[in-house]
Amino acid sequence: MRGEEQSTSIRTRSHITLTKVNFLRTPMIRYAFFLYLCSSKESLKQKYMLTIKQITENTDEVIRGLEKKHFKDAKQVIAQVVEMNNKRRSAQNSLDKNLAEVNSLSKTIGSLMKEGKKEEAEKAKARVAEIKESNKSLQEEMDNATADLQTILYTIPNVPYAEVPEGFGAEDNVVEKMEGVIPELPADALPHWELAKKYDLIDFELGVKITGAGFPVYKGKGARLQRALINFFLDQAREAGYLEIMPPTVVNQASGYGTGQLPDKEGQMYHCNLDDLYLIPTAEVPVTNIYRDEILDEKDLPIKNCAYTECFRREAGSYGKDVRGLNRLHEFSKVEIVRIDTPQHSKESHKEMLAHVEGLLQKLELPFRILRLCGGDMSFTSAICFDFEVYSAAQQRWLEVSSVSNFDSYQANRLKCRYRTADKKTELCHTLNGSALALPRIVAALLENNQTPEGIKIPKALVPYCGFDMID
């Protein structure tokens, strides 16, 4: 989940504004989504690594992609990268030239000494000493240029795919698919935070007492519903071939940089200063970092992992009605799916992940829509991203519950996550992940959409996990 709330006015593929959805099964929308899933092989050839090679060989293409993401001063920043790289290469070339001269002189010195030409040998030795001294400043120059280059590269986001729409924010996202029926609730229908109080499911005030706002306490059937959803999501992921991982919920700085949360989202992460560790905002971080500095075997790809963790986000600057109840929390439960794949297969993996999340929402009987995010609303690290939103009937608004992203080789380049091909070449992997699913807004929609005079109905798929079919 990206953390941004989505507007209720979002473009369709034909750029028609939707203000209220009365029907959710539209053939043209399904067809638009189908076009993405069947995208041409030509798009597989795109390799947005944001390596130095990519930037220097495809400078204009990279700049256009960064401008689509509205990356500030893209031309100037890329010009800086090229300049720093030229400095680094110049220093490296001088060092290589000096090394070649030292090697040549060393052989010459030996020959001169054998021939008794001591004076000439001493001159050669003096030249070697002179070169070695100059190498110190050259090495320092190269090290500084390399460090500066690395620093600026960390601040440059991934380049979006060509099929990512232009746009500045949520209002420019494209509705790809809608499904389900929005329930018609009575005029006195309650929002989930009032339902939670009525049925003693969640105590928000107690969470404030214990910790602070955004840390709710789940009680009774509310706690059991949380556990039921977690187990249901994990079981569904395992049935789809994902290996369950139980990772740490704190990570070191290298892990944060590896997946791109650092330095981009440092202000949104909880930092344990004494130990220099970070509470994870998503299981994506520890699970993907399992493969940092690894060379995998092509025959083992795609790797499919899933993980349930608590997630922690500061959400600085959030306020107002859109953050009431479960709409935005500092701590929440989420099941994440992660894939490591080859460039040739990663789009197929993305299709499968989208279908998996869609299947979960269908089983939960929730009305949902799928959005293709525009360049201005995408995350720092993604090359393409689709959001899933469910309709919250009492609030009469869409709530984001999942983002499913393909990062191309961007994260892998930071992680140095590679694979060895059948012909023994080493290539960068592609990484993908998605929420499957985040619990808070799912719970909000389940409570609101299923409220009746007798109580709150539990979807059939969850009854075996809950042990009850009604909250009353």
pLDDT for residue 199 is more than 70: yes
Least confident of 135-144, 177-186, 363-372, 395-404: 135-144
Name the pLDDT band for 40 (thresholds 50, 70, 90). very low
For residues 57-71, average pLDDT: 94
Cis check: omega of the bond before 263, within 30 degrees of 0: yes
pLDDT, greater one: 77 or 104? 77
Specify the pLDDT at position 98: 85
- Cα 166 from Cα 163, distance rounded (Å): 9
Kindly list the distances between the CA atom of residue 103 and the CA atoms of 36, 116, 129, 139, 290, in Å, as whole numbers in the listed order. 57, 20, 12, 18, 42
- Cα 62 from Cα 410, distance rounded (Å): 13
Evaluate whether 280 touches 255 at the Cβ level (below 8 Å).
no
DSSP summary character for residue 168: S
Share of the chain above pLDDT 70, in %: 88
pTM of the model: 0.84
Tokens of 122: 């001493």
Specify the pLDDT at position 141: 87
Task: Give the residue among 448, 455, 463, 371 at the shortest CA–CA distance from 182.
Answer: 448
CA dihedral angle for residue 459, residue 463, residue 467, residue 472, rounded to 10 degrees: 20
- Cα 61 from Cα 412, distance rounded (Å): 20
Angle at 364 between CA 363 and CA 369, to 5 degrees: 95
Least confident of 135-139, 151-155, 313-317, 428-432: 313-317
Specify the pLDDT at position 195: 98
Name the pLDDT band for 320 (thresholds 50, 70, 90). low
- Cα 99 from Cα 364, distance rounded (Å): 67
- Cα 338 from Cα 288, distance rounded (Å): 7
Look up tokens 């969470």; give the residue. Answer: 207
Kindly list the distances between the CA atom of residue 412 and the CA atoms of 89, 264, 282, 340, 403, in Å, as whole numbers in the listed order. 24, 17, 17, 9, 19
The rounded mean pLDDT for the chain is: 88
pLDDT for residue 42 is more than 90: no
| pLDDT tens, residue by residue, 256-312 | 999 999 988 888 999 999 999 999 999 999 999 999 999 999 999 999 999 999 999
- Cα 355 from Cα 351, distance rounded (Å): 6
Q: What number of H helices and E strands is found in the chain?
A: 14, 19
For residues 394-404, average pLDDT: 97
Least confident of 51-65, 123-137, 388-402: 123-137
Specify the pLDDT at position 63: 96
Q: How many CB atoms lie within 10 A of CB 224?
A: 17
pLDDT for residue 430 is more than 60: yes
pLDDT for residue 117 is more than 90: no
Helix, strand or coil for residue 118? helix
Helix, strand or coil for residue 197? helix
pLDDT for residue 81 is more than 80: yes
Q: How many CB atoms lie within 10 A of CB 132?
A: 12
CA dihedral sign, ordered 54, 55, 56, 61:
positive
For residues 438-445, average pLDDT: 98
Angle at 287 between CA 371 and CA 154, to 5 degrees: 75
| Pair type for strands 11-12 and 174-179 | parallel
- Cα 238 from Cα 232, distance rounded (Å): 10
Task: Give the residue among 94, 88, 84, 85 at the shortest CA–CA distance from 134.
Answer: 94
Specify the pLDDT at position 316: 62
